[in-house]
A and B are shown apart, each in its own frame.
Chain A
Amino acid sequence: MKNLNSVFAAYMIGWAVFFVFYLSVAKRTSALREEVERLKNSLKPGK
């Protein structure tokens, strides 16, 4: 089938963009969640 590569590439690259975006957000979220927990814990014993 003519142009199957191009159609395939378009869909794959498109989904890759969304996937990378989602992964980046998820990674930052879990990293930040850890930071917040760590900070909260460091506050409690001090008080």
Chain B
Amino acid sequence: MSLLSNAGALLGKELRTEFRSRELLTTTMVFILVIIVLFSFTFDPTSSESRRFGPGLLWLAFLFAASLMLQPCFLREQTNDTLSALRLSVDDPFAIFLAKLCANTLFLLFTELLMLPLFAVLYNVSILPAFHWLLLVLFLGSMGVSLAGTALSAISAQARMRELLLPLLLLPLLTPILVASTEVTVGLLDRNPYMQWKGVGFLATFDLVFLTVLWLFGEYLLEE
């Protein structure tokens, strides 16, 4: 399929660009680390308290980090007007979005997976028993963040005050992701881990809805 091969090629470009400098990934990871450390001052991180507050703070950290990490997504295409070149190179503009979506999801997942063991150590929570389920939640949650974030990044890149605008638009929109991810993670980090499929259902629904919306309206986000 032309769409997938185009998207694949563009995804390769996105990954190569980032791994050449790695500045986005490293900055994001350090930012998450800073938030995690600062959060430790806001409550007493005993084991039971950490299990109660930890997941929420972790996901908040991911969300804040993502709202900063997604800024350059379309901004960097503006410097040399590479967006026009991209648009000419593909038949379906959705390929551009698909590529950026996958790239952003992968970047987010990468930073989250690196931060997770650190979080486990610093807050005395066990992530191993339910690790495979945690992976699922991280994946669905990150995809949701990436879906909404990529779309909104395209919007805010064309407005003033874009550094403040993107988090402002993105964070309320991501409420379902924050609520559902946190709640499911709470269950998975419990002393007797349990899975809440309804929460996973919300995540999957959010992802499906926004993937469809992006597929239907993505090209208008890229209009000149």
Direct contact of A and B (CB under 8 A): no
